[in-house]
Amino acid sequence: MRFKFAAFSLIVVMVLTLVSCNQGKIDELTQSLANLEVQNQQLMQENNAIKAYIEEVVKVVKSVDQDLEKIMAAEVDIREMTKDVDINAIEGNIKNKLGEIGDYIVESKAKIVELETSLAETKHEVKGLRSLVANVKANLKAKEDEITKLAAEMGVLEDDLASLNNEIEQKNSTISEQEDMIAEQNTRYYTMAKASELKDRGILEKRGGFLFFGKTTKLTTNFSTADFNTLDAVSDLELTIPVPSNKVMIHTPHIAGSYQLVDAGENTTLMISDPSAFWSASKCLVVETK
């Protein structure tokens, strides 16, 4: 009887132990499921944000394309109205058409600058968007040159043509300043060298420890970037380092997961997958090559 009771007790203990272990696994799986749900929601939100951003960029690009169509239509009008006609008699009409074209060109350039600014600031890197904007910008520039040439061919009064060109040039100057500002905002600095050279240049120093013991190599707090190389934070996403990855040490702070070091024979390729995160803590990249 005692043996049966002991056996029964053992079975009860084993069952309770199994239930307890399984409950732990169930709790763990439940938590994992909850985490996956949160991640899924975050991915859906990010996907919707990227989709909305792409739609907005495409909308503006289509708007510029429509302006180009209007420019071409106005160009056709000018050519038609000057067929077998004394240009002096319709000088006012030509001037109005050129003014209309000038307005379209100026408006389109402003839209493109807004797009370029948006692309420079966005954290959404979508393949093809930059080339799309660059292409429509090139088309607009080609059409602007063509219209200026047409106006000269039509024999429009020099004052009128100069006025149109002056307005466009003023806008070009403003746009150029904005583009320079964007380029400056996107400029980042990097250097790569052996530790001894980086110390000689005042970029690295030994700190901490006692006497000659326990000191570590750290970035100095006020090094100069005068002799650093430059790159564009948005478009330059790969950098070749002339040593294998096991001889690479990055001293500046950059968020883990925003980049990776990929061996490429005797060299290493620094691949930046998230430029916004990569450059968030420092606008400089200091690489020690051992």
Looking at residue 180, its pLDDT comes to 64
Looking at residue 173, its pLDDT comes to 61
> Which residues neighbour 110 within 8 Å (Cβ) at sequence distance 6 or greater?
171, 175
- The token pair that represents 36 in the structure block: 């996956």
How confident is the model over 206-222, as pLDDT tens digits? 765 444 444 677 888 88
Looking at residue 157, its pLDDT comes to 43
Question: What is d(CA 228, CA 197) in angstroms, rounded to the nearest whole number?
Answer: 13
Looking at residue 179, its pLDDT comes to 63
How many other CB atoms are there within 10 angstroms of residue 203's CB atom? 23
Question: What is d(CA 266, CA 279) in angstroms, rounded to the nearest whole number?
Answer: 26
Looking at residue 207, its pLDDT comes to 66
Torsion sign, CA atoms 214, 217, 218, 223: positive
Strand partners, 204: 219
**H or E segment at 279?**
none
Looking at residue 185, its pLDDT comes to 79
Looking at residue 85, its pLDDT comes to 63
Residues of the chain with pLDDT under 50: 1-5, 157-159, 209-214
- The token pair that represents 67 in the structure block: 């302006």
Question: What is d(CA 244, CA 248) in angstroms, rounded to the nearest whole number?
Answer: 7
Looking at residue 3, its pLDDT comes to 46
**H or E segment at 251?**
none
- What does residue 223 show for φ and ψ, rounded to 5 degrees? -75, 155
